[in-house]
Structure 1
Amino acid sequence: MLLAVDVGNTNVVFALIEAGTIRTRWRIATDVRRTADEYAVWLLQLMAIEEVERSAIATMIVSSVVPRARHNLEVLAQKYFGLNPLHAGEGAAAWDFPIHVDEPRTLGADRAVNALAAHAGFDGDLIVVDFGTATTFDVISGDGAYQGGIIAPGINLSLDALVNNTAKLPRIAIDHPRTTSVTGRNTEDQMQIGVFWGYVAMMEGLIARLKAEIGRPCRVIATGGLALLFQRHTRIFDAVDADLTLKGLAILAARAESLNEEKFRA
């Protein structure tokens, strides 16, 4: 069984993947001070609830955009599972597709993993939109090469900036506005309209520009927590896959295992 770990700026997702199928997933807030022992207490209890023995974990793979979280996850793997974890983009789990950016090593592991999974799951040119702490737009050509993309502030960051830098605006939930009008009659409705429809307009505008620049038919794949919310109110997404990153990690881990088997036979 594979233990896949996706470390984002806001949350860390742990998932158990068996024969390519995601069995379960758990989420914990990202905290670089969290020790391997703290991870273990939390994770092993959840595994016990699922009736999964720690000995069932044969491989652990980590994708991280938080370098300071790496050490404690490595200690977790070694101390509690007897494993040396794979790291997405390194060693046997290195990328095997071209990355056409000025500094390929600066590309976030999550974005590269998404590109890998999207190309494996969908044909042709693709735009992958990932709703995380930041919202990213990544362009993948039909041959699987990463062509570049866009980084925009995540909608939660935008709302936090608005609320934290004004004296009287309240904190609101991110949701579709209650009114069908875009002329709000109270402060909360005006904020909801501005945040929600403003974000939809930003996404639609950027995707239209990307498609015009690509100049060929392409599909738009969305992932991340808010993808389903926005999918109900815009037609820009051709598909939504909330597990795109985890699927990419499963592909990388399987490829690394295959490479190790080939080396052993050699």
Structure 2
Amino acid sequence: MGNQVPATLNGCGTYCQTCEPKDGALPCSSGYMGSEEFVETREVKQMHAWSSPAGSPRADMHSKSPPNALGTASMGTSSFSPGASPNASPQQVGVLVGLLGRLTGMEDKTVQYPDGSTYTGCLRNGLKHGPGVYKSPTEVYEGEWQDDLQHGTGRQIWSDGRLYEGQYVKGHFSGMGRMVWRTAKGTMCYEGEYLEDLKHGTGKFTWPDGRCYEGEWMRGKRHGRGAYTTAKGDYKIGYWTEDRFIRWELNTCEQDNVNRMLR
């Protein structure tokens, strides 16, 4: 399912092993530098959910079932199911998939691949189609499939601790989703809209130290109007263009002061 992306690649929302934050000061709305600490990090610049050691959401997902696929089996190897509680029992998962298979004409099977990965769930014409669980040494995906691609609602967990849960379209993060990264500095989280694996639309990104950006994104970068909260809890509305900070939005009092200066 494509080459893995090196861990050194920057990306919006993905932990980048070589990226470190820059320190500076929080500029006030007039453009002068204030005393508050402002950390504008490259952890957000061009970070994408797929740029990580584990590769894209489709990495290691086999495109076709092998000709020697095993026969039917229950979902006993699964610990969760799409649309169900993560604590659902294997028996409950098996009943769900079995019923859906009978209703839709899809088969309920377990497929084993030469690399040790497995898929347990519905198949149609030999392709993953419907609810199912894929497990490999590096990741687990539980959710919906269409024509061998993740499509619909799903949940994906990687061996490095990353987690994505939300919507997929033809194998990509698309729609509403939530991505969590666990790093040496703590947990980062993005919750919002995706388009083809990139943050696109509106969403909220939170850093381990409590900093937060909530606003508009375009192609994986902050773009448009957004609210920035510092680690100390200071709150500002600002504007970004392709992840570059442009200016802060003036509040009523600040705007009045500027108007008086211009008279």
TM over 0.5: no
* TM-score relative to the length of structure 2: 0.23
Q: 1 or 2, which has the higher helix percentage?
A: 1
Q: Greater strand share, 1 or 2?
A: 2
Larger RCO of the pair (alpha carbons < 8 Å, separation 6+)? 1
